[in-house]
């Protein structure tokens, strides 16, 4: 009886090991944009490899996702160059997209045998936005234009933007925006409502927020290149690239395919229209070369 039980357990372990070995696992962090990108990657790989892909989407924050990748619990997930540089590698921010990408590529390969593929095409950095009517009336196109305003700006922002070194403190050192009192701290989901209802007249947002694709707002160009780059790219285990040769060309086909505007639209389809992530991802992939 013991022999039979041991044999069954061994067979089960071998089967589990083999099934894990023959299926690639896609991960993501725990917010809408990441889940959409993870699903796009998973569907793309299923089509290219001709087999089922495991999903571990909505994992958690940056450090949890990165640890899962380094430990081999997932094989690929989307990350942002600026986040990798400052949050994972603990290095100072830089304004050069090419330099940041090269820096994180070298460090990730050396430390963890992880490869950064070419960026997907969009940059999810901080942006400052104002009502479109105000931008047209005051001829505002850049943050330098906003800095010349005589009337102070009523700024709305999340707590993170007000405190992190690449947020408001550094922004003010660069542009010296005239502010009307202390910025209003609020949940990120309330920023655009506050802007529409004239509770604030400028908001600090994320560059790929879905609402930016549907509201009459103007994103003010960072003409002095203060904000660091947060280019989205796929990070993959080198072991996975060796085990599945078809993975590299399949994922390379996503590089440069998602613009800022497209990512905003995809986010809005899920957050604004409440469409299923799998459906939005499938629709996006249908428009790409196979």
**Is 81 inside a domain boundary?**
yes
Helices (H), 127-233: 132-138, 143-147, 159-163, 168-175, 191-196
Which pLDDT tens digit goes with each residue over 68-122?
A: 999 999 999 999 999 899 889 999 888 899 999 999 999 999 999 999 999 999 9
* Domains in the chain, number: 2
Out of 165, 188, 220, a domain closes at 220
Q: Are strands 126-131 and 184-185 parallel, antiparallel or unpaired?
A: unpaired
Does the predicted model carry a pTM greater than 0.95? no
Residues 79 and 39 in one domain: yes
**Is 15 inside a domain boundary?**
no
Which pLDDT tens digit goes with each residue over 198-211?
A: 999 999 998 999 99
Residues 46 and 73 in one domain: yes
**What's the pLDDT band for 18 if we cut at 50, 70, 90?**
very low
Q: What are the start-end ranges of the E strands in the chain?
A: 25-27, 54-56, 76-80, 114-116, 126-131, 155-157, 184-185, 202-206, 217-220, 232-237
Out of 192, 220, 248, a domain closes at 220
Beta bridge partners of 184: 156
Residues 37 and 116 in one domain: yes
**Is 142 inside a domain boundary?**
yes
Which pLDDT tens digit goes with each residue over 26-53?
A: 999 988 999 999 999 999 999 999 999 9
Tokens 């904000």 belong to which residue?
Answer: 227
Residues 199 and 250 in one domain: no
From the centroid of its chain, how far is CA 106? 20
Tokens of 283: 């629709």
CA–CA gap between residue 103 and residue 141 (Å, rounded): 32
User: Domain range holding 44?
Assistant: 22-123+229-286
């Amino acid at each position: 009886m013991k022999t039979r039980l041991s044999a069954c357990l061994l067979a089960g372990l071998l089967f589990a090991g083999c099934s894990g070995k023959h299926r690639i696992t896609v991960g993501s962090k725990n917010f809408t944009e990441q889940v959409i990108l993870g699903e796009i990657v998973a569907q793309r790989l299923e089509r290219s490899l001709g087999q089922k892909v495991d999903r571990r989407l909505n994992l958690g924050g940056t450090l949890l996702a990165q640890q899962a990748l380094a430990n081999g619990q997932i094989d690929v997930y989307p990350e942002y160059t600026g986040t990798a540089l400052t949050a994972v590698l603990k290095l100072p921010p830089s304004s050069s997209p090419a330099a940041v990408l090269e820096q994180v590529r070298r460090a990730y390969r050396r430390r963890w045998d992880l490869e950064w593929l070419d960026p997907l095409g969009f940059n999810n950095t901080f942006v400052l936005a104002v009502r479109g009517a105000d931008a047209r009336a005051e001829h505002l196109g850049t943050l330098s234009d906003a800095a010349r305003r005589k009337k102070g700006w009523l700024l709305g922002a999340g707590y993170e933007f007000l405190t992190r070194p690449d947020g408001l403190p550094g922004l003010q050192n660069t542009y010296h925006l005239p502010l009307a009192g202390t910025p209003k701290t609020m949940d990120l989901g309330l920023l655009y409502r506050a802007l529409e209802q004239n509770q604030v007249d400028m908001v600090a947002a994320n560059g790929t927020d879905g609402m930016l694709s549907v509201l009459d707002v103007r994103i003010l160009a960072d003409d002095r290149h203060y904000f660091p780059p947060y280019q989205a790219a796929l990070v993959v285990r080198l072991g996975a690239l060796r085990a599945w040769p078809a993975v590299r060309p399949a994922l390379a086909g996503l590089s440069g395919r998602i613009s800022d505007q497209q990512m905003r639209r995809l986010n809005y389809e899920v957050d604004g229209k409440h469409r299923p992530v799998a459906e939005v991802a499938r629709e996006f992939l249908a428009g790409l070369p196979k």
